[in-house]
Structure 1
Amino acid sequence: MTMKIIRSKTFTATRPWGALDIANMGGITTRLHWTDQPYRWHVNDGEEVFVVLDGQVEMRYREAGIEQSVILEAGDIFYASVGTEHVAHPRGEARILVVETQGSV
């Protein structure tokens, strides 16, 4: 039996969106990301659960071609269904837990 304890508040990476792989459960990955820079507009190959653990993130997304935005605080969860175009813009440093299909963008 293997277990892990991860102190997310102290996790940093050497580059924006650097990640620590936590688990792969039947092709679904759970990764801890650190960033201080925006990602890029993208559509995932599958569903995505995006949990802000520390910091603030402005999540921009498009519905019916119209760009929308929401500020996510620590503890907030963003769910992107298949086909949801979105981009995350951290406000300063942020730590984010992402659960998605392995190999997804």
Structure 2
Amino acid sequence: MKVIRPKTFTAARAWGALDIANLNGTTVRLHWTDQPYRWHVNDGEEVFAVLDGTVDMHYREAGEEHIAVLETGDVFFANVGCEHVAHPRGEARILVIEREGSV
């Protein structure tokens, strides 16, 4: 049994994570960041839920870049092959659910 309070979680570096669970090869991790990640494509599907803060999620469709503004409580689902990068506006805490070992 675990109780996690995302608002109090910080990490020593941007995109540092607290491993919450591994569900038969699917990881559930809480990330803290104040810096953008990098453009990437996951090797599986990804669920990205903003628990605290605001994140500009940049993604490409048909070679065209789009930006979705994600507020606290918003969820971004990245299909297989979805190229994307998260840019937090200040500090953000994000719950990420994805295949173990994914980028």
Give the aligned length: 103
Partner Cα distance (1:10, 1:26) in 2: 28
Unaligned runs of 5+ in 2: none
**Equivalent in the alignment of 2:45:** 47
Amino acid in structure 1 at the alignment position of 2:23: M
The one-letter code matched in structure 2 to 1:36 is D
- With normalisation by structure 1, the TM-score equals 0.98
**Deviation by residue 1:45-91 (Cα, 9 ceiling, x = unmatched):** 10000000000000000000100001100000000000000000000
Is 1:86 paired with 2:84?
yes
CA distance in 1, matches of 2:19, 2:102: 14
The separation in 2 between residues aligned to 1:25 and 1:51, in whole angstroms, is: 17
| Offset of residue 20 of structure 1 | 0.2
TM-score, normalised relative to structure 2: 1.00
Q: RMSD over aligned Cα, in angstroms? A: 0.2
2:21 maps to what in 1? 23
Amino acid corresponding to residue 35 of structure 1 in structure 2: T
Cα distance in 1 between the residues matched to 2:96 and 2:86: 12
Consecutive unaligned residues in structure 1, runs of 5 or more: none
**Distance (Å, rounded) in 1 between the aligned partners of 2:83 and 2:62:** 10
Residue identity (%):
76
